[in-house]
């Protein structure tokens, strides 16, 4: 893993023209020792689940939450049926709202899930140790290769026009925007270079993304994980360098 490799994240203008309210928040983590579990993170996730359980939301109630409803409309705008392919936030919210608890994966993934439940936004941890150059959130041309999570030997090809996170090597690291994450960027236990993402599509979403980034940064600092400066991209600022330009802040 080389934390000095440069990485720039960009937003496709064709996407932000269709969904002008799209906001992407990013936290670069040059080197994190990802633990299988952490009591503090488990407490955060349990508390987030408990708060949602107390609201007694049904499936329709979850879909009607302002942040989720905006994602459903954004998905429709790019030709995806949100009832068949719900965004990442709607998936975890639905599961917990019906009384379940989320499986514990590892400290970083669990932290992202806790933040997603509390802020009702898609939140993900991506291992970008094998990615440099450009990572673009863009419309697929259909030639990209996607390796499904847990099934890297069964590659898929995104449909033309589908929103994907794609790198310079023709690899897609998501399907249908943030519906599914790919195997290459999964966060496993061990030492990794990570990029944490927070996304919104609703009016006023930038403030909510910023709040979620602050919560993540504080939680990472409590775990002793150093981060680079958070970055927020949108239609007005569609690109930024997350590794290479901004030095890491140890123990932030």
Reported as a single tens digit per residue, the pLDDT across 173-219 is: 999 999 999 999 999 999 999 999 999 999 999 999 999 999 999 99
pLDDT by residue (tens digit) across 111-138? 999 999 999 999 999 999 999 999 999 9
Structurally, at CATH architecture level, domain 7-243 sits in: 3-Layer(bba) Sandwich (3.50)
Nearest to 66 by CA among 203, 176, 228: 203
The set of residues, in sequence order, having a beta carbon less than 8 Å from that of 180 and lying 6+ positions away, is 148, 149, 174
How far is it, in rounded angstroms, from Cα 144 to Cα 3?
25
Enumerate the β-bridge partners of residue 99. Answer: none
Lookup result for tokens 């379940």: 100
Q: Interior CA angle at 219 toward 217 and 222, to 5°?
A: 110
Alpha carbon 12 to its chain centroid, in Å, reads 17
The set of residues, in sequence order, having a beta carbon less than 8 Å from that of 229 and lying 6+ positions away, is 28, 246, 249
Q: Domain-by-domain residue ranges, the chain?
A: 7-243
Question: Do residues 34 and 106 lie in contact, with contact meaning Cβ atoms separated by under 8 Å?
Answer: yes
Q: Considering the entire predicted model, what is its pTM?
A: 0.94
Residues of the chain where predicted confidence (pLDDT) is lower than 70 = 1-4, 245-252
């Amino acid at each position: 893993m080389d934390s000095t490799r440069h990485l720039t994240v960009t937003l496709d203008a064709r996407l932000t023209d269709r969904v002008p309210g799209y906001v992407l928040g990013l936290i670069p983590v040059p080197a994190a020792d990802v633990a299988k579990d952490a009591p503090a993170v488990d407490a955060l996730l349990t508390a987030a689940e408990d708060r949602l359980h107390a609201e007694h939301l049904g499936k329709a109630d979850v879909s009607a939450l302002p942040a989720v409803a905006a994602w459903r409309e954004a998905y429709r705008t790019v030709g995806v049926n949100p009832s068949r392919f719900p965004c990442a936030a709607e998936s975890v919210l639905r599961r917990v709202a019906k009384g379940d608890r989320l499986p514990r994966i590892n400290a970083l993934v669990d932290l992202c899930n806790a933040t997603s439940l509390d802020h009702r936004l898609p939140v993900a941890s991506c291992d970008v140790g094998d990615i440099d150059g450009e990572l673009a959130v863009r419309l697929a041309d259909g030639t990209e290769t996607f390796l499904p999570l847990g099934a890297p030997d069964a590659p898929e090809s995104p449909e033309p026009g589908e929103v994907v996170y794609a790198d310079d090597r023709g690899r897609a690291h998501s399907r249908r925007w943030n519906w599914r994450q790919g195997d290459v960027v999964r966060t496993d236990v061990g030492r990794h270079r990570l990029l944490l993402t927070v996304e919104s599509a609703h009016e006023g979403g930038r403030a909510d993304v910023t709040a979620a980034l602050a919560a993540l940064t504080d939680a990472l600092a409590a775990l002793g994980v150093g981060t680079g400066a958070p970055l927020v991209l949108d239609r007005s600022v569609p690109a930024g360098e997350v590794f290479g330009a901004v030095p890491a802040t140890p123990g932030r």
